[in-house]
Structure formats: C-alpha cells, structure tokens
Structure 1
Amino acid sequence: MKKLAIFDIDYTITKKETLMELFKYVIKNDKRNIRFLPRAIYCGSMYGLKIYDERKVKEEFLKFIDGIREQDLAKLVRRFYDEKLKTILYEDAIKMMKKLKSEGYDIYLISASPEFYINEFHNIKEVDKIIGTKFNFKDGIFTRTMEGKNCKGEEKVRRLKEVLENEKIEVNFKESYMFSDSLSDKPLLDLVGKPYLINYRKKHEIEILKWK
C-alpha cells in the first residue's frame, strides 16, 4: 500500500501564480502579444464580479495561445520551465519532496493549473505524478476548450481517485501528506492524515508551515 505526499502548485511549491507567469513570459518573448492584456484584465474583472466562473475565465484568458500547434506549444512550455518556472520554486518545497521521497512516499502534484505546462514539473526528479486541468487539442491544434471540469476543490479528489483506480494503486491516506496554500484544497487536506497549510496568513487548526 502506497503513501502519498500531495502538493498543490501555485503558491505552494511556487512563489507566483504560474498561469500569469506564462502570460508574462509569452509577452516578454514577443511584445506583439501585449494586445491580449486588455482581455486578461477584462477576464479578471468578470471573475471578480462573479459573471465568469473559473472555467470561462481560463478559456477566455488562454486566447494568447489559441491555435498554436501542439509541438510548438510543447517547445514553448519547455522553455518556460527552464527560463522561468524552475526559478520560482520554493527551496523548502523541494527539500520536503526530497525528504519524503527518501522515506518511501510517492510525490503527486495536483493543481487547477493547465496540465499542458505543469507537466514540465516532471523535471523535478522526485515527482511521480501530475494532475491538472485538461485542455483539448483538435487535429494537433490547441483550442483552449477545457476538457472536463476545472481541477479544483472536490474535483481534485475525484481526479486523484480516478487515477488511483485506473492504475490499481492502493493508498494509505492516514499516513499520507497534503500541502496547500489555500483552504480551497480542504477536500484533499481532509483526505489525508497529515495535512499542512503553506504560508497561510490566518490562524488555523491545520498546522502552518512557512516556506521560502
């Protein structure tokens, strides 16, 4: 029976929100993409006003890579990881992964961020599995249409259990860990016997770790 160490990604193992960092990276590499900035601001406003849900926000926001070929997107996110993502990792998160891996835990990253780029975190040798929000490709072209639900809250638990069932993996959840910066992950935090909040600013019954 396996023991898991589950990590959220944004603000848990990274210092910044990764999708926004991808947007900034694309603009930095081609200033013409600044034309998508008004759309990004509009999407944020619509979400703040609760007119758009998170699915709608992501599908609209990702217009800046709409129609990109799958192989070109793969090259883009590989550069994005090498030049940006790996520079914003919390050292304490990597140390924790190494420690728990050495103790026999499987390391799972589960995030609401798009899988097409968070899969690059497989570059961290300790990482065994990555689960994120899926987006569709049609005839090898990125369509920015979300496949299934946004991988957040209860959906994270559902997706995790789906993977475990499909791969016939039995887990000792009582001995497993979950690390997250947010109570939006409470379904996963409640699933394990060893939950931790990362850099959480309020007092809480769940133990809080300060990572740098």
Structure 2
Amino acid sequence: MSKIAFFDFDGTITTKDTLLEVIKAQKGKAAFYTGFIINAPVLIGFKLKLISNQVAKERMLKYFFGGDSISSFQQGCDAFIDRQLPLIIRPQALAEIEMLKAAGFKIVIVSASPQNWIKRWSDSMGLGLIATQLEVAGDRLTGFIKGKNCNAEEKVIRIKAEFDLSAYKEIYCYGDSNGDKAMLALATKAFYKPFRTVS
C-alpha cells in the first residue's frame, strides 16, 4: 500500500491568490484595479453567492485575457513562475513537501487555478498536478474554462478519475478554504489552514 498527499495551491502553498497576482504581473496594477471596478457587480454577485465561482472566474479571465495569444500568455505565466511565485510560496509548505517526499509520499497539487502558472513550478518540484484548464480557440484564449473549474466537488471527481484511492494506505490532504473541504473529506489525515501564521 502506498502513500499520497494532495495539496491545494492558492492560500495553502502560496500566501496570495495567484490569479490576482498573474493579472497584476501581465497587465499592470492600473489595469488590474480598473478591471475590478468595471467588474464589481460580478464580484459582488459572487460574494453574495448569486453567481458561481466558475462564472465569476470566467468573467475575469475573459476581461483580462480573452483574445490574447496563448503563446504570449504562457510566456507571461512562465515569467511569473520564475520571478514572483517564489516570493509567495510558504516556507512551511516547502518544508512539509520535503518531509512527505522523504517519507515516501507521492505528492499532487489540486488547484482551481489554471495549470499555466503552476505546472512549470510543480514539474521542477517533482509534483503531480491536477488543475483548471483554459479554453483555446486557434491560438487565442477565449476567456472560458475548458470543462469545469477544478474546485470543491470537482477536485474530488478529478482526483478519483486519476487515482484509485483504495490503493493508498495513507492519504493526506491540505487545504485552506471551503472549496477544499470535499477534498479534505477523502483524507486519512486532513490539514486545514496548516501553514497560517497566528499573530
């Protein structure tokens, strides 16, 4: 019997929401704040649970990246991974990952964020990745998600599609939000907000 660990990415491995940081990095802070003002009704609707996570995310993706070439977008994501991402990775998360590796765990990131700004980092760390995928038409981003946003129950569906969990004696899950709770329920040992600093 083997051991496997599933990690949420945003807020668990990182200290910030990476979608917001990627928008700032690729479009600049002025465009970022302008875009959020323009899309405020959608964001308020999401906060009030009147609009789904996927619809709200697609609205932001379409506003900021819809029509962009996938090659230029990916170049921006790679630059973000190289320059900004290391600054928002929790040291505690890195220590936990290394400890689990030493204990023989297979480690997989399961994220609602698109794989475009995670995979290069996860590959460099020797980690598996299950993440949201973006729709591309021709060589352009449509602003829509391909399939479903990898959040909440979709995380469980995607995990079970890729892994036979009955083959694992130990299943560790790490998360920090309501969107992770379905995944945490799969665990033999669950960690909720395990890396938060308590002041």
Question: How many pairs were matched up?
Answer: 197
Relative distance call for 1:134 and 1:39 in structure 2 (3 A) is farther
Match of 1:206 in 2: none
Q: Which residue of 2 aligns with 1:153?
A: 152
User: What TM-score do the two structures reach when normalised by structure 2?
Assistant: 0.88
Please give the alpha-carbon distance, in whole angstroms, between the structure 2 residues aligned to 1:144 and 1:131: 20
Q: 2:167 aligns with which of 157, 165, 171?
A: 171
**Aligned ranges for residues 1-212 of structure 1 at < 5 Å?**
1-28=1-28, 31=30, 35-62=34-61, 63-127=63-127, 129-164=128-163, 171-172=167-168, 174-199=169-194, 210=196
In structure 2, distance between residues paired with 1:115 and 1:186: 21
Structure 1 stretch displaced more, 33-42 or 53-62:
33-42
1:40-73 Cα distance to aligned partner (Å, 9 max, x none): 4333112123332111111110121111111111
Q: Which moved more, 1:31-40 or 1:117-126?
A: 31-40
Q: Relative to 1, partners in 2 of residues 1:39 and 1:17: Cα closer, same or farther, differing over 3 Å?
A: same
2 and 44 in structure 1: CA distance in 2 versus 1, 3 angstrom threshold: same
Query: How far is 1:140 from its partner?
Result: 1.7
Contact 2:2 2:170 in 1 (8 A): no
Per-residue CA shift, 1:12-33, capped at 9, x if unaligned?
011111111112222338x556
2: distance between equivalents of 1:193 and 1:70?
A: 39
1:52 maps to amino acid: I
CA gap 1:158/1:197 in 2 versus in 1, 3 angstroms: same
Q: TM-score, normalised by structure 1?
A: 0.83
Identity %: 29
TM superposition shift of 1:118: 2.3
2:24–2:32 CA contact under 8 A, matched in 1: no
* Alignment check: 8 A CA contact 1:4 1:176 kept: yes
CA 1:154–1:125: 2 relative to 1, 3 Å: same
Q: Which runs of 5+ in 2 are unaligned?
A: none
Is there any run of 5+ residues in structure 1 with no aligned partner, and where?
200-208
| Conserved? CA contact 1:14–1:90, under 8 Å | yes
Task: Please give the secondary structure, in 1, of the residue aligned with 2:25.
Answer: helix
Structure 2 distance, partners of 1:104, 1:58, is 36
